[in-house]
């Protein structure tokens, strides 16, 4: 397994074609705008080498028997599913942001299970190809970027109906050696500092969309691939001031980028789906379930940090003991632990797939993510309430260093005696970074927006069974268990009861 430093150095060997702010970036590792994202991903490597976190950060490969980073592991039990979300919370606590690597992990597990099912039905060789690729990922301890979302264009139209045929990533050509693809994948987390891109289909498709039903893996610096790195709230602050950045060591969110594929060749040994449209829905559901389960881990880890930051600010201003502050902090904690409980539940309720890997409980995973789309906003609102207006009106570090006004300015940002003003500024900026910045839209749309979760919840709600429960209890449907308890039919029971009541009334 690589250390954090070794991971960073491994990126120097790659030459991806990255564009940002109208320029081509030739050195990803040393670009100041990218370094915090790289540092964050490096933590997934560093903690795996720390004996204190070995149990959650590492696993044993079911393919080789070797010790591996858990981010390259195929879940072999519900215990693995639980350890995964424990790992997510730990990393959220240690970085205060998105650590990027979980998308690739979930893509690996989705392809493992689905490729097996495709082979069983179609007689293809995708699963063996994928296992060979997986061994490569595990042995090299590679970071994989899961790439599912397409730009999608007119979303009322299916992929084959779009005016621009490349608005969904598609197979442009097939030959004896492999496939050539054109199109794009959007909002892809951590991709510019990954080693591999793992592509999955973005939606369920029909036969007419079969050229869009594809999954494959490709190195990030493959010819024909370009990346355009996204803007994020206050991202350029880190170029102006360590203090103003809020979380200067680590990323704002996940370092998202759009990937443009132009006549990119993929050899057959790295293709895991090429036209099997019947399995696109399964691909999406399996990946989304795994990924939505994560959010009660990673976002709760972030909640731990922002709750601690809000309490620190209150304490620095002498109001930590106020009943309304304690009440708000308690609410933040309760909401976070509710989401954490959901992550644990969907993991403990996981099940074995035909491939031998384990999947989460999909209903509970979607409930987890739906709670995150609401509760993150609420606990961040409470953080704003506790921290006060300073988190959005704080002057720049340059003003505090200004010889004309800096010293006087600092006096007006003092808290209680004994607390360094600079520490107050640091903590206010951290709370701002976490609760005002790009993290909120990511909590909403990462792993799918609320409508996607509601569709899955409705689909798996078992509403007919719930109707049956109500019909049995209300007496519309026969209750066999009740009849066994009382030893007679419901009609006989109620008739006898009616006679007893009538007799009792007559006596009265």
Q: Which of 187, 290, 291, 317 is catalytic?
A: 291
Q: Is 440 in the same domain as 475?
A: no
pLDDT (0 to 100) of residue 86:
98
- In which domain, by residue range, is 98 found? 4-279
* CATH number of residue 453's parent domain: 1.20.140.10
| Residue 236, beta-bridge partner list | none
Helix axes 280-316, 323-348, angle to 10 degrees: 160
Helix axes 102-122, 280-316, angle to 10 degrees: 170
For the chain, how many structural domains are there in total? 3
The verdict on whether 189 is a catalytic residue reads yes
Can you give the pTM of this predicted structure?
Answer: 0.94
Question: How sure is the predictor about 170, in pLDDT bands with cuts at 50, 70 and 90?
Answer: very high
Q: Is 207 in the same domain as 93?
A: yes
pLDDT in tens, 173-221: 999 999 999 999 999 999 999 999 999 999 999 999 999 999 999 999 9
pLDDT in tens, 486-508: 999 999 999 999 998 988 776 65
Question: Residue 416 pLDDT > 90, yes or no?
Answer: yes
The verdict on whether 377 is a catalytic residue reads no
What percentage of the chain carries pLDDT values higher than 90?
Answer: 92
- CB within 8 A of 379, min separation 6: which ones? 303, 306, 307, 331, 332, 335, 336
pLDDT (0 to 100) of residue 507:
65
pLDDT (0 to 100) of residue 508:
57
pLDDT (0 to 100) of residue 504:
79
Q: Is 273 in the same domain as 367?
A: no
- The closest of 58, 55, 56, 39 to 1, measured between CA atoms, is 58
The verdict on whether 98 is a catalytic residue reads yes
Q: Is 195 in the same domain as 229?
A: yes
Q: Which of 45, 116, 277, 295 is catalytic?
A: 295
* CATH number of residue 118's parent domain: 2.40.110.10
Q: Is 44 in the same domain as 132?
A: yes
pLDDT in tens, 331-387: 999 999 999 999 999 999 999 999 999 999 999 999 999 999 999 999 999 999 999
Q: Is 335 in the same domain as 372?
A: yes
Last residue of a domain, one of 438, 459, 480: 459
Q: Is 430 in the same domain as 474?
A: no
Q: Is 200 in the same domain as 293?
A: no
The verdict on whether 256 is a catalytic residue reads yes
Q: Is 481 in the same domain as 370?
A: no
Q: Which of 7, 196, 202, 298 is catalytic?
A: 298
Q: Is the dihedral of CA 171, 172, 173, 177 positive or negative?
A: negative
pLDDT (0 to 100) of residue 61:
98
The verdict on whether 208 is a catalytic residue reads no
Q: Is 34 in the same domain as 53?
A: yes
Average predicted confidence (pLDDT) for the chain: 96
Mean pLDDT of 286-293: 97
The verdict on whether 277 is a catalytic residue reads no
The verdict on whether 298 is a catalytic residue reads yes
pLDDT (0 to 100) of residue 80:
98
The verdict on whether 75 is a catalytic residue reads no
- The closest of 225, 218, 232 to 189, measured between CA atoms, is 232
Q: Is 72 in the same domain as 196?
A: yes
Q: Which of 102, 339, 342, 346 is catalytic?
A: 102
Q: CA angle, 482 as apex, 481 and 485 as ends, to 5°?
A: 90
Last residue of a domain, one of 279, 312, 330: 279
- The closest of 306, 298, 343, 302 to 328, measured between CA atoms, is 306
Q: Is 179 in the same domain as 199?
A: yes
Q: Which regions of 275-383 does DSSP assign to beta strands (E)?
A: 351-352, 358-359
Mean pLDDT of 252-256: 88
Q: Which of 78-92, 190-204, 439-453 has the lowest mean pLDDT?
A: 439-453
């Amino acid at each position: 397994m690589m250390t954090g430093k070794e991971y960073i150095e491994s990126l120097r060997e790659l030459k991806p074609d990255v564009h940002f702010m109208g320029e081509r970036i030739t050195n990803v590792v040393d670009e100041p705008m990218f370094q915090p994202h790289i540092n964050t991903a490096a933590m997934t490597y560093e903690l795996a080498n720390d004996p204190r976190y070995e149990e959650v950060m590492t696993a044993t490969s079911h393919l080789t028997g070797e010790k591996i980073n858990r981010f390259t592991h195929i879940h072999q039990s519900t215990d693995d599913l639980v350890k995964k979300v424990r790992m997510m919370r730990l990393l959220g606590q240690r970085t205060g942001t998105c650590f990027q690597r979980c998308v690739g992990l979930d893509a690996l597990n989705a392809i493992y299970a689905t490729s097996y099912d495709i082979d069983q039905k179609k007689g293809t060789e995708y699963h063996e190809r994928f296992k060979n690729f997986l061994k490569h990922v595990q042995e090299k301890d590679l970071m994989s970027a899961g790439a599912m979302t397409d730009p999608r264009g007119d979303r009322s139209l299916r992929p084959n109906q779009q005016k621009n045929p490349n608005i969904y990533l598609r197979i442009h050509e097939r030959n004896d050696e492999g496939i050539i693809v054109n199109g794009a994948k959007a909002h892809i987390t951590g991709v510019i500092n990954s080693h591999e891109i793992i592509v999955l289909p973005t939606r369920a498709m029909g036969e007419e969309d079969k050229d869009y039903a594809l999954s494959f893996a490709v190195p990030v610096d493959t010819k024909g691939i370009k990346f355009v790195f996204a803007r994020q709230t206050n991202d350029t602050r880190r170029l102006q001031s360590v203090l103003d950045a809020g979380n200067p060591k680590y990323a704002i969110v996940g370092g998202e980028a759009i990937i443009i594929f132009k006549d990119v060749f993929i050899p057959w040994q790295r293709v895991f789906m090429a036209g099997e449209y019947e399995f696109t829905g399964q691909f999406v559901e399996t990946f989304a379930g795994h990924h939505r389960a994560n959010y009660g881990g990673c976002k709760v880890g972030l909640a731990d940090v922002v709750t601690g930051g809000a309490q620190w600010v209150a304490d620095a201003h002498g109001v930590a003991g106020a009943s309304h502050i304690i009440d708000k902090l308690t609410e933040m904690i309760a909401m976070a632990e509710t989401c954490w409980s959901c992550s644990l539940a969907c993991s403990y309720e996981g099940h074995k797939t035909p491939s031998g890997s384990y999947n989460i409980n999909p209903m509970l995973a979607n409930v987890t993510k739906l709670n995150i789309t609401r509760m993150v906003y609420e606990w961040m609102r409470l953080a704003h309430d506790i921290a006060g207006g300073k988190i959005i009106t704080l002057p720049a570090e340059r003003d505090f260093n200004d010889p004309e006004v800096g010293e006087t300015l600092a006096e007006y940002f003092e808290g209680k005696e004994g607390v360094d003003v600079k520490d107050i500024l640091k903590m206010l900026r951290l709370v701002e970074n976490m609760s005002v910045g790009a993290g909120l839209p990511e909590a909403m749309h990462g792993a799918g927006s609320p409508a996607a979760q509601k569709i899955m919840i409705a689909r798996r709600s078992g509403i007919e069974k719930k109707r049956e429960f109500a019909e049995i209890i209300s007496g519309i449907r026969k209750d066999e268990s009740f009849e066994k308890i009382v030893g007679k039919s419901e009609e006989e029971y109620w008739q006898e009861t009616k006679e007893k009541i009538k007799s009792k009334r007559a006596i009265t």
